[in-house]
Structure 1
Amino acid sequence: MFSQLTLHERLLKAVAELKFVEPTPVQAAAIPLALAGRDLRVTAQTGSGKTAAFVLPMLNRLVDLQGPRVEIRALILLPTRELAQQTLKQVQLFAQFTYIKAGLVTGGEDFKEQAAMLRKVPDVLIGTPGRLLEQLNAGNLDLSHVQVLVLDEADRMLDMGFAEDMERLCKECANRQQTLLFSATTGGAALRDMIGKVLNDPEHLMLNRVSQLAEGTRQQIITADHDQHKEQIVQWLLSNETFKKAIIFTNTRTMADRIYGHLVAKEVKAFVLHGDKDQKDRKQAIERFKEGGSKVLVATDVAARGLDIDGLDLVINFDMPRSGDEYVHRIGRTGRAGGEGLAISLITHNDWNLMSSIERYLKQQFERRVIKEVKGTYGGPKKVKASGKAAGVKKKKTTDKKGGDKKVAAKRKPAAKAPRNAPLASADGMAPLKKRAPAAE
């Protein structure tokens, strides 16, 4: 029960107002340790309630601050505008019965208006690394009095190339008393390096191993012959699947616009969201999608983090994401907070190896699905039987008494063992495979 946590009565009043009764596993594990002042490194799946797990202890530290507001006391770093805006709303809801004020600094908003907001000195500042550094370099931002630093979706920020920006901002918070780092994936070497630099004797909490992520979501693949075939499958799914809301993910803005155009031509109510859209259009698309103005959102990975939309129960990967972590974040938009969802990935022959590597990463096997109405010719890689020659069979010819060729039963000779470092055989067993040059990005 939240009432059993040693939170300030004003925060417990807000929790009750929001009808939160039982803390989620990540909240139950992280909040007591954070209240005790420990640095934390927490891995928990999307939709698990990790925002409240760092916001509530952070606010608890600030709730009894006395005197005029002259210093920023807490900083929350996030990778995207959408996630930052969503986190601001959460902070405001939990702080509604306190005097704590929060501010937002992200790209896509008026720089001078943000500078004016910073002069009012919010207690909690929420922002993305790039714009925060711009305000810092302009002399509009003082982080020397920050007590609590939160790095949310730290792995994503590193993936986006914010490592140096994050380190600089962490150094600006040199007098902090606590650092909390949350992510939905375990990340890689870059994340481990960041943890070593910014956390002080942290408690490590792994609420979900990779193989347990998205347990409430059915994961399917449907094979396709080419992109045009994928578009036909998408049309069939949107016409025949039962869903409240769906997101279609692509890897490029061009493909997102193309799919959106085809949907509109078929009179499907849809919105498109990607990096070329200005902030006003992005806000409008997300708000209308949340409100039910359309059932379909076509998006690049700009929407893969931070979107928490009620009723989103279908994710379609038109393009397979480029990494296992990105796949986890995409399908994490559905099946949130214990709900059920369906994630479908469309796979051509170019996608198969990437899909297989993601299966291995997740230690799962996706369900194979065939839709007879839009079935294509590609069904995955075929196992090619070795030819007689490849199997070590040698045929002899002899000449009969009349001078004609006569077939003699083939003699099978035992296959020689290949040297340990011999090149691999090709799929037909005839010739060694050459190393393929890396594809240009």
Structure 2
Amino acid sequence: MAREIERASILRKKHGIHISGYNVPAPLESFEELSSRYGCKSKLLQNLSGLGFKEPTPIQRKAIPVLLSGRECFACAPTGSGKTLVFLFPILMKIKPRTKDGVKAVILCPMRELAAQTTRECKKLAKGRKFYIKLMTKELSRSGDFEKMHCDILVSTPLRLDFALRKRKLNLSRVEYLVLDESDKLFELGFVEQIDSVVKACSNPSIICSLFSATLPDSVEELARSIMHDAVRVIVGRKNSASELIKQKLVFAGSEKGKLLALRQSFAESLNPPVLLFVQSKERAKELYKELAFDDIKADVIHADLTQQQREDVVDNFRAGKTWVLIATDVISRGMDFKGINCVINYDFPESAAAYIHRIGRSGRAGRTGEAITFYTEEDKPFLRNIANVMAASGCEVPSWIMALPKLKRKKHRPKRDSISTLPEDNEE
């Protein structure tokens, strides 16, 4: 027993895993242990291997055994570290498919795109096993006959699920697993009321709740304490830090015109697609797209004014390599899993350390290395220290003068930026 405890401790230390809680199960050394320790069916392991999962990531090593042992889990790990598999695998192992008990697992996601993506991943992992896996679409939430609907696993955004609970009499009283994915974003987008509604509806006293997050604000900690009992807390790396696989760099551009010049210079020197480029608003996204249209760069833009189909087409082209550079905002990109992003460019300085972590986490996913470049101007200097702290915590070198800058004592509004556009305005005759 002492040797097993020591081995578990060495494994946690090696992978930067920090835990709190009692009687915490040992981490996985390999996915094969899912069979030997937990009796996982071979079909599920075959699907796992077929999807390219060879070795568990640090969060998977620790949090999967926690959930499989029947414990509630509060997990914090960098974006792209494989958190989705952590909650999908135990659900698919533990619930019985196609019974008449109604919904047995609910997964809440902050964005429609993330909910759709999670549904796709769940179906791939469950291939060959007869699970009813449903995505709560707008149509389903408004006109679904939930008394007759066959559903084992339901994936939804808070608003759509709350609507179905209030208007369509959806019954969640037999739910065995409740997952709040990207719980920091659920709070940031103001879904507290809807989350409360869902938690109350999931009234099974034996329910297992789990929260997943890339950052750990106080609001998420409070939520975890309010809905979970004796949960195991699992943190990979340092709290509120980025992946160490991402090479992070700050670039002083002086002004808005300087940023456009620096971007073009960066592309001229080494354009290594796919590149994800962040701006702070959809208006600026459109402006930058028009500027890059004059360059020999296969660029596209995604924003809230596009229809759902147009957004999907943009994402598909980016994934297929038809688009090299995709311009996006924080809101629209959140939760989209762009595999193989080589570089993230923060054209506009992120509004918070959490936003920075989520942005650059699009790169360096699933064990791959990546690069993150952040432009800043004179107006951005008061915000530099917050981002520099994240960089330093991730092992990146940061100039001493930046670390010596005063901390922000209260949240400042982002600077009002000059227009990106260098094009003459259209004059109506």
Q: How big is each residue's C-alpha offset from its partner over 1:329-380, in whole Å with a ceiling of 9 and x where there is no partner?
A: 10000111221111111110111111222213554586679xxxxxxxxxx9
What letter is aligned with 2:282?
A: R
Q: Is 1:183 matched up with 2:213?
A: yes
What stretches of structure 2 of length at least 5 have no aligned partner?
1-29, 416-429
Q: How big is each residue's C-alpha offset from its partner over 1:114-159, in whole Å with a ceiling of 9 and x where there is no partner?
A: 7268852321000111121122222152212111000110011101
Which residue number in structure 2 is paired with residue 269 of structure 1?
A: 298
Q: How many Å separate the matches in 2 of 1:36 and 1:115? A: 35
Q: Is 1:231 matched up with 2:254?
A: no
Which residue number in structure 1 is paired with residue 124 of structure 2?
A: 93
Which residue number in structure 2 is paired with residue 400 of structure 1?
A: none
**How far 1:86 sits from its partner (Å)?**
1.4
Contact 1:45 1:184 in 2 (8 A): yes
Q: Is 1:13 matched up with 2:43?
A: no
Which residue number in structure 2 is paired with residue 324 of structure 1?
A: 353
**How far 1:212 sits from its partner (Å)?**
5.2
Contact 1:314 1:343 in 2 (8 A): yes
Q: How many Å separate the matches in 1 of 2:266 and 2:288? A: 14
Which residue number in structure 1 is paired with residue 24 of structure 2?
A: none
Q: CA RMSD in A?
A: 2.7
Query: Do the aligned partners of residues 332 and 42 (structure 1) sit closer, same or farther apart at CA in structure 2, a change above 3 Å counting?
Result: same
Q: Is 1:44 matched up with 2:77?
A: yes
Q: How many Å separate the matches in 2 of 1:177 and 1:312? A: 37
Q: How many residues were matched structurally?
A: 375
Q: How many Å separate the matches in 2 of 1:160 and 1:33? A: 29
Q: Is 1:295 matched up with 2:295?
A: no
Which residue number in structure 2 is paired with residue 74 of structure 1?
A: 105
Q: How many Å separate the matches in 2 of 1:282 and 1:243? A: 23
Q: Is 1:346 matched up with 2:372?
A: no
Contact 2:143 2:168 in 1 (8 A): no
**Residue pairs, 1:377-416, within 5 angstroms:** none
Instruction: Give the TM-score normalised by structure 2.
Output: 0.81
Query: Do the aligned partners of residues 140 and 287 (structure 1) sit closer, same or farther apart at CA in structure 2, a change above 3 Å counting?
Result: farther
Query: Do the aligned partners of residues 225 and 57 (structure 1) sit closer, same or farther apart at CA in structure 2, a change above 3 Å counting?
Result: same
**How far 1:438 sits from its partner (Å)?**
6.4
**How far 1:279 sits from its partner (Å)?**
1.2
Q: How many Å separate the matches in 2 of 1:9 and 1:72? A: 25
What stretches of structure 1 of length at least 5 have no aligned partner?
370-379, 384-423, 425-434
Contact 1:115 1:140 in 2 (8 A): no
**Residue pairs, 1:195-210, within 5 angstroms:** 195-210=224-239
Which has more radius of gyration? 1
What letter is aligned with 2:193?
A: E
Contact 1:221 1:367 in 2 (8 A): no
Match of 2:314 among 274, 285, 290: 285
What letter is aligned with 2:118?
A: T
Match of 2:287 among 253, 258, 269: 258
Contact 2:146 2:168 in 1 (8 A): no
Q: Is 1:61 matched up with 2:94?
A: yes
Instruction: Give the TM-score normalised by structure 1.
Output: 0.79
Contact 1:270 1:295 in 2 (8 A): yes
**How far 1:59 sits from its partner (Å)?**
0.9
Which residue number in structure 2 is paired with residue 30 of structure 1?
A: 63
Q: How many Å separate the matches in 1 of 2:32 and 2:106? A: 26
User: Partner of 2:248: helix, strand, or coil?
Assistant: strand
Q: Is 1:193 matched up with 2:222?
A: yes
Which residue number in structure 2 is paired with residue 408 of structure 1?
A: none
Match of 1:357 among 386, 399, 403: 386
Contact 2:97 2:132 in 1 (8 A): no
Q: How many Å separate the matches in 1 of 2:235 and 2:257? A: 41
What letter is aligned with 1:17?
A: G
What letter is aligned with 2:318?
A: F
**How far 1:201 sits from its partner (Å)?**
0.9
Q: How big is each residue's C-alpha offset from its partner over 1:32-78, in whole Å with a ceiling of 9 and x where there is no partner?
A: 1111110000111111111111100011111x3464x4501100001
How much identity, in percent, do the aligned residues show?
33
What letter is aligned with 2:105?
A: A
Q: How big is each residue's C-alpha offset from its partner over 1:233-281, in whole Å with a ceiling of 9 and x where there is no partner?
A: 1122223224120011011111011001111132422221122222111
Query: Do the aligned partners of residues 101 and 163 (structure 1) sit closer, same or farther apart at CA in structure 2, a change above 3 Å counting?
Result: same
Query: Do the aligned partners of residues 207 and 437 (structure 1) sit closer, same or farther apart at CA in structure 2, a change above 3 Å counting?
Result: closer
Q: How many Å separate the matches in 2 of 1:39 and 1:13? A: 27
User: Partner of 1:338: helix, strand, or coil?
Assistant: coil
Q: How many Å separate the matches in 2 of 1:217 and 1:437? A: 27
Query: Do the aligned partners of residues 361 and 45 (structure 1) sit closer, same or farther apart at CA in structure 2, a change above 3 Å counting?
Result: closer
Which residue number in structure 2 is paired with residue 144 of structure 1?
A: 173
User: Partner of 1:334: helix, strand, or coil?
Assistant: coil
User: Partner of 1:265: helix, strand, or coil?
Assistant: coil
What letter is aligned with 1:34?
A: L
Query: Do the aligned partners of residues 99 and 113 (structure 1) sit closer, same or farther apart at CA in structure 2, a change above 3 Å counting?
Result: farther
Q: How big is each residue's C-alpha offset from its partner over 1:301-336, in whole Å with a ceiling of 9 and x where there is no partner?
A: 124432222331111111111110110010000111
Query: Do the aligned partners of residues 12 and 113 (structure 1) sit closer, same or farther apart at CA in structure 2, a change above 3 Å counting?
Result: farther
Q: How many Å separate the matches in 2 of 1:117 and 1:311? A: 38
User: Partner of 2:110: helix, strand, or coil?
Assistant: coil
Structure scoring higher RCO (CA < 8 A, sep ≥ 6) equals: 2
Which residue number in structure 2 is paired with residue 306 of structure 1?
A: 335
Q: How many Å separate the matches in 1 of 2:281 and 2:342? A: 23
